[in-house]
Amino acid sequence: MNTQETNGVETFETDVLIIGGGVTGTGVMRDLALRGIHCLLIDRRDLNAGASGGNHGLLHSGGRYASQDAETAAECRQEGDILRRIAAECIDDCGGLFVAVEGDDPEFAEAFSGHCKAAGIQCTSLSPMEAREREPMLSERVFAAYAVTDATIDPFRITLGNVNHAQQLTRSLFLPHTEVERFEIENGVISSAWCRDMRTGARRRILARQVVNAAGAWAMQVAQLAGCSEVRLLYSKGTLIISNTRIGQGVINHLRRPGDGDILVPGGTVSLLGTTSDNIESLDDIRPTVAEVERVLNEGRAMVPCLEKTRFIRAFSGVRPLLLASGSGADGRAVSRGFTLFDHQDQGLENFATVTGGKLTTFRLMAEKTGDLVARRLGNTQPCRTATESLPSGDAIRWTEPGFAPRDWYKRNDPQDMILCECEMVPQSAIDSIVESAPGAEQQMTLQAIGVRSRVGKGSCQGSFCSIRVTSHLYDRGVYDSSQGLLHMRDFLSARFKGVQPVLWGEQMPQMELSEALHCSLMGLDQLESQSDAPDGIGDPEST
Amino acid sequence: MNRQTRRYKVQLAVIGSGLAGFAASVFALERGIHCAQVGNTGAIAYTTGYFDLLGSHQHRLLNDPWAGLDRLLSSEPDHPLSRIAKAEIRTAFDRFTQTLTEMGISYTRAGDRNLFALTPAGTLKPTLSVPMTMQSGIAARERGAKVLIADFWGLQGFSANEFVANGKASWPQLSATRLAFPDMESGAQVFPEVMARALEVPVNRERLAERLSAVLGDAESIGMPAIMGIHKPDHVHAELERLVGVPLF
Amino acid sequence: MTAAVQNSLPVIDFKAKAHELLPQGASYDSCLNCGLCSSGCPASGLEGMDPRRFIRMAMLGMNEELSSTPWIWTCTQCKRCMYVCPMSIDVSVLVGLARGGWPVEKKPKGIVRSCEAQLRFSSTSAMGVRSEDFIEVVEEIVEEVREQDERFRHIEAPIDKQGAYFFVNQNSREPAVEPEELAPLLKIFDYVGADWTYASKGWAAENFCMFTGDDAAWKEMVKQRVDAVNELGCKVWVNTECGHSFYTIWKGIERFGLDAHFEPGSLVSFYAQWIREGKLPVNPDWNTRGIKFTLQDPCQLVRKSIGDPVADDLRFVAKQLVGEENFIDMQPCRSANYCCGGGGGFLQAGMNEQRHAYGKRKFDQIMTTQADYVLTPCHNCHTQMDDIGEFFGGHYRVIHFWTLICLSLGILGENERKYLGPELADIGLSR
């Protein structure tokens, strides 16, 4: 790939420009790289900044869709099997239960195993007592239970693995914080994409033979930049809450028509309770609310009563991009979880494709279909290899797995390798490997970027201590030599607090009081702007 | 099994061992009230050492907290501080810090202006009163003095480089160095509490002072993380300054 | 940091156990990660561990690592981490559990052997002193005191006296290796006219079984003693100036739900009471040279059992003995005091390098006071502080309260001054 700078505008050349650093975009990147194609991946923020990072990491058995959407259910099952083969390290094959409690529709529960069978999904009926043996915290009021092959998957590790592998295969490149502002279109071909660096404001021009829009919830906006109006999305916001410790052994689904708080998913050392589904108009300022948290919790308690006394450390929200077929209703849960690949041919564009809808479990299939289209357009005859080629690991991309960093640290037995994040026990050596060579390391690796690539900030203190220690370490490494490091730390903590705010009760309250003491009272992070506003450091008009 | 219950007869029971409880006991004792205070470890273990009155108002840092207080109370008449007269606030501050001073942890008096304390990150924080051990750093910054900031191998969360990077815009004469603390040279994690306690022992002070003197160069003063004593910081601070021969903070 | 024990050890689910054993609101789930525990723990950094790390590793499911880390033998279970924790999280409970999980043959031999010795004889002595030998030693000492000092010609050391007010446990160290050190306490009891008794069963004041992590053995040890006290119908159980033995009874009765018809009392509190009542008219007049004293609060007696009230008693007695102006507290002290590193079986565990590193903090504390003597009512504290003093080159001496009480009263015999310096060799000698 050529990079040149003319008139202060950096120009990049690539075979394929991929817009959107979620599982789909990075999946496409790896798919194409396996066919020998060079890609440039951009994201207006960072990897998994949208729905790919805002979900419960469930690898669906398909059971959830068995009753309503047999096609998606079957797709989930097949893709689940493939991912277990090619990305075993990213998966916790913990199994799952569907449970109905008193008050639920017995007929719906009754019909479940039949629906599963129809979709080819493994499903075993359990007595309530057997179910409680597997998951002792289940409600006494469970009257029906089925075991399914649900698993969990680490979407961050998948994404990092995809980019890492693509970089190795074809020296493909990832540029974070890069937003498309406009496309130059000549004779039905996008000739260049004009982008902006969201942090520096610098302009970038990308010359690509093909452009893939994998912008998730933002896919409609990106498509419109290219003049394509047929991508119509329904934005469905979902909120989840994270417990301080892992509550169940496996996934626990509420056996009823999909609703709030109907799934509890283990995520390594924690559990995630979700999910709400509310249609929203705008993608700006997505944040969880107290009302959503209460809804999820109230519903979740029916299945697992101990949630009442569970310590929750954070809430977060993602936006599902649901495809709105003409005439379909406005209920987000009723819209198909299937995906669509638009070739935009009928809009007169030769080198633009949009892939959207779908789910985490089916990302590989989405990438395969997109890769097939793009490769064909490029005249590349290589077949898709993602269903058989294992996703390789790497030193800099293993740190998102809970418990990996401390085990690695303990084994290495090096007293000088400081633990920088105490909750998740992430040592300095892990941070160093991320700063040196994790995807995106060519750009500045900020605290937030490190957070995406590790467990830093994910534990019960939500960044209270690690933010200070990691920032100090980054200053010592020379990553920062100005006040930018503190501004980044402040931004990181603000982003964390957005999620902590709606779960502030019980132990999380003193935890955040402590955080405030550290960041505001001690370090004055709340007053950083006031300091920089006044050039002499201190401003107080009345007294000057 | 029987267990003895001890009974204490006092005039006043103060429940809570935070700053408010501590202040209540101090003021009661001053009035000759016999009191007992009970409590557990709490937020007082996490205090910063600064005593704030009002550092900023409507996102503007304040030089004059008392004038700022007027503005705060006119915009928020129900603010708790509206219940106390300014003179009383000032007296309470001074009496409380006086007690700390008598305990060997001297504080500056509550003046008319905020002090701009140096945070561990090298930024400034407006506050009304600070421990005297911080004072020479504030003065050095105002003068723009040539100052060396030292951090320590194994001590996490305080980086001299960070301090310098953030402070240098308004204080160009800053530089950074890293030292090994006596008997904590292995590079393994060290805790500030342990370092502070170690410096209560004369021989450890002498050894640290030697290391500080070796890196001093032409600097007029040395700044460090808050490790200069924990039980008798005034004494530790004075002794270290005597040994190194320049102001320390 | 040294590598964990290589052989595979039984794996404990620490997170689940924490939920079971610790109260809601003070379980590992409540941890704020603030690190006050680790910051104040002298075992922090040994074997690459500290209390916060122990909690975090439990929460992260690192059960194999925790089940095999030798750190649990360097943690003295002093509970300072719990004391300073704003959420009152008790790490020591799971350290005890981890100790119990080690196969006997892998546990530190010194602790195991001491416990085994205790279980072998009805004396419950960790040093293997049998009851008949103990009685013989006591009789010899009584005879000696009667001969040496006119004032004590009627002194008695009753054994198995039914209905005596005090049941006195005696640490085995005195009868086994320094019998002359028995005498001062006997003299004090005689001086105040205490109604007391030793017993022929369960008289030994130590309990290493607790340190092995073997709850059943701990219980057995406590039960034997409780039965012995109940049998004699005594009102108050006291032990000699010993810390852990007090805790094992104090806590053990409650923990194992034993039926004890008596109250466990601290000898130091009775010293204080007798001084207040005028029965022990001690004073600091002997301290004409202004010799300085500091005080070690035994974790087992103060923080883990009675708390600050007994710390008050310790200071009251100390100041009465040496003079207010000659007493300097260590910092921190009382319930916040650092463990010296002698407890938890550390002295017997054979991990000297780690124990010295642990003790450095105590050594620094003592050096800060610049005291000539450290008073402590605990045998393990005594031994450890002597040892770290020698190791790090301190010039202080460590003494029991009984020595100083008798010195002040002018009843300390010439051969009862083993731990005093030459400057006190002649003070208050009656002949």
| Length of chain C as a residue count | 431
- CA atoms in the 13 A half-sphere facing the CB of A483: 19
Paired tokens of A414? 């090096």
Cα–Cα distance, C308 to C292 (Å, whole number): 23
The strand pairing partners of A236, in sequence order, are A279, A320
Q: Burial of C324 by CB count in 10 Å (0-12 exposed, 13-18 middle, 19+ buried)?
A: exposed
Residues of B in contact with A481 (CB under 8 A): 161, 165
The strand pairing partners of A316, in sequence order, are A240
What contacts C382, CB < 8 A, 6 or more positions away? C342, C376, C398, C400
Per-position DSSP letters for C88-108, written without gaps between them: ---SHHHHHHHHHHS-GGGS-
What contacts C141, CB < 8 A, 6 or more positions away? C157, C179, C180, C182, C183, C186
Q: What's the pLDDT tens digit per position in A54-93?
A: 999 999 998 888 888 888 888 889 999 999 999 999 999 9
What contacts B146, CB < 8 A, 6 or more positions away? B173, B175, B218, B219, B220, B221
Task: Return the pLDDT at A544.
Answer: 29
- Mutant choice from C36, C60, C354 vs A, greatest count of A C-beta within 10 A: C60
- CA atoms in the 13 A half-sphere facing the CB of A56: 28
Query: Where are the domain boundaries for CATH 1.10.1060.10 in chain C?
Result: 14-107
The residue in chain A having the minimum alpha-carbon distance to the alpha carbon of residue C26 is: A507
A542, pLDDT greater than 50: no
What contacts A377, CB < 8 A, 6 or more positions away? A210, A350, A351
Nearest alpha-carbon partner for A479 in B224, B172, B157, B162:
B162
Q: Name the A residues in 376-415 with CB < 8 Å from any C CB.
A: 402-403, 406-407, 410, 413-415
B80, pLDDT greater than 90: yes
Test B4 with C86 for CB contact under 8 angstroms: no
CATH 3.30.9.10, applies to A58-153+234-323: yes
Q: Is C33 left (phi over 0), alpha (psi -120 to 50) or beta?
A: left
Nearest alpha-carbon partner for C239 in C221, C258, C259:
C221
Domain that holds residue B136: 131-244
Task: Return the pLDDT at A26.
Answer: 98
Cα–Cα distance, C63 to C75 (Å, whole number): 18
The verdict on A480 touching B (C-beta cutoff 8 Å) is yes
All residue ranges of chain C with pLDDT < 70 are 1-8, 430-431
Cα–Cα distance, C170 to A197 (Å, whole number): 78
Strands lying side by side in the sheet with C293-295: C293-295, C373-375, C397-399
Nearest alpha-carbon partner for A96 in A71, A70, A118, A66:
A66
Cα–Cα distance, C38 to C44 (Å, whole number): 6
Q: What's the pLDDT tens digit per position in C11-30?
A: 999 999 998 999 888 999 99
- Do B68 and B14 share a structural domain? no
Q: What's the pLDDT tens digit per position in A268-295?
A: 999 999 899 999 999 988 999 999 999 9
Question: Are A131 and A97 contacting, i.e. CB atoms less than 8 angstroms apart?
Answer: yes
Residue B6 pLDDT grade (very low, low, confident, very high; cuts 50, 70, 90): confident
Question: Are B184 and B207 contacting, i.e. CB atoms less than 8 angstroms apart?
Answer: no
The verdict on A537 touching B (C-beta cutoff 8 Å) is yes
| Length of chain A as a residue count | 544
Task: Return the pLDDT at A331.
Answer: 57
CB pairs under 8 A between B and C: 60
Cα–Cα distance, A348 to A507 (Å, whole number): 58
Looking at A26-169, which runs of residues are DSSP E strands? 39-42, 58-59, 91-92, 96-101, 124-126, 142-148, 151-153
Query: Where are the domain boundaries for CATH 3.40.50 in chain C?
Result: 275-424
- Do B148 and B213 share a structural domain? yes
Test C15 with A245 for CB contact under 8 angstroms: yes
Test B191 with C265 for CB contact under 8 angstroms: no
Task: Return the pLDDT at A537.
Answer: 37
- Mutant choice from B186, B190, B194 vs C, greatest count of C C-beta within 10 A: B194
**Touching chains, B (3+ CB pairs < 8 A):** A, C
Q: At which residue do the structure tokens 């130059």 appear?
A: A184
- Do B105 and B82 share a structural domain? yes
Q: Phi/psi of residue B150, each to 5°?
A: -110, 135
Test C367 with B230 for CB contact under 8 angstroms: no
Cα–Cα distance, B174 to B152 (Å, whole number): 17
A538, pLDDT greater than 50: no
The verdict on A505 touching C (C-beta cutoff 8 Å) is no
Cα–Cα distance, A56 to C262 (Å, whole number): 58
Residues A149-160, mean pLDDT to the nearest whole number: 96
Cα–Cα distance, A506 to A518 (Å, whole number): 20
Task: Return the pLDDT at C7.
Answer: 55
Task: Return the pLDDT at C6.
Answer: 52
Cα–Cα distance, B34 to B31 (Å, whole number): 9
Task: Return the pLDDT at C406.
Answer: 97
Cα–Cα distance, B74 to C34 (Å, whole number): 38
A296, pLDDT greater than 70: yes
Indicate the DSSP class of residue A274. E
Domain ranges of chain A: 3-51+156-232+337-378, 58-153+234-323, 395-533
**Touching chains, C (3+ CB pairs < 8 A):** A, B
What contacts A208, CB < 8 A, 6 or more positions away? A13, A14, A15, A16, A17, A40, A190, A192, A193, A351
- Do B121 and B28 share a structural domain? no
- Do B104 and B93 share a structural domain? yes
Q: Phi/psi of residue A40, each to 5°?
A: -120, 120
Q: Could you tell me if residue B2 is inside a domain?
A: no
CA gyration radius, chain C? 21
Fold classification of C275-424 (topology level): Rossmann fold (3.40.50)
CA gyration radius, chain A? 24
User: A70-86 and A106-118 are packed helices; what angle lies between their axes, rounded to 10 degrees?
Assistant: 60
Q: What's the pLDDT tens digit per position in A95-144?
A: 999 999 999 999 999 999 999 998 889 999 999 999 999 999 999 999 99
Residues of B in contact with C36 (CB under 8 A): 41, 45
Q: Could you tell me if residue B98 is inside a domain?
A: yes
The CATH code of the domain at A3-51+156-232+337-378 is 3.50.50.60
**Distance from C137 to chain B by nearest Cα, in Å?**
32
- Do B136 and B125 share a structural domain? no
- CA atoms in the 13 A half-sphere facing the CB of B105: 15
Task: Return the pLDDT at A67.
Answer: 80
B121, pLDDT greater than 70: yes
Task: Return the pLDDT at A541.
Answer: 36
Architecture of the CATH domain C14-107: Orthogonal Bundle (1.10)
- Interface confidence (ipTM) of the complex: 0.94
Per-position DSSP letters for A160-174, written without gaps between them: HHHHHHHHHHH--EE
- Do B20 and B59 share a structural domain? no
Q: Phi/psi of residue C294, each to 5°?
A: -125, 180
Cα–Cα distance, B216 to B12 (Å, whole number): 52
Residue A337 pLDDT grade (very low, low, confident, very high; cuts 50, 70, 90): low
Pairing of strands A203-213, A352-357: parallel
**Distance from A251 to chain C by nearest Cα, in Å?**
18
Report the SS3 class of residue A20.
Answer: coil
